[in-house]
Structure 1
């Protein structure tokens, strides 16, 4: 990770309390729109409790089936070179 990204994260985290206070202020403000209040409330809940799990739908009969495949292939440089010449 580059130093710049680390510095940006550090600066942003330094403003956490102010950001939370701002979200709480919007959430509690009777002058804020309902959409703004709900958005602020959701942001607070997401940060405090994590985002709620969401089911993935494939548009057919149910949840989308996800298949993960990890394949490890060990290639020796000499063998790879021999295969390319063939």
Structure 2
């Protein structure tokens, strides 16, 4: 099974240049819809630079809720709902 996955990955990677060229063509095409152009541009950027970081959700007071949850679990393990 692992060998099959490696072969599929290798085959897919062998088409990278063509896929990027197609995405770039869609991105530049005046005939493509705006949504297709944006999608192609995002795909190119994601592959070249990685996905943009996502902000943490904030609680009502503006501080990140995730940090509060971690603090409740790690700092106050006896009362994680605190």
- Report if TM-score (shorter chain) is over 0.5: yes
Partner of 1:57 in structure 2?
57
Question: Where in structure 1 are there 5+ consecutive unaligned residues?
Answer: 68-86
TM-score (norm. length: structure 2): 0.71
Bigger-Rg structure (1/2): 1
- Cα deviations across residues 4-57 of structure 1 (Å, max 9, x unaligned)? 111110000000000000000000000000000000001101111111100131
Query: CA–CA distance in 1 between the matches of 2:32 and 2:51?
Result: 23
Between structures 1 and 2, the one with greater helix share = 2
- Offset of residue 65 of structure 1: 1.2
User: With structure 1 as the length reference, what TM-score do the two structures score?
Assistant: 0.68
| Long gaps (5+) in structure 2 | 71-82
Aligned structure 1 segments of 4 or more residues deviating by more than 3 angstroms: none
After TM superposition, list the pairs within 5 Å mapping 1:44-83 onto structure 2.
44-57=44-57, 60-61=59-60, 62-65=63-66, 67=70
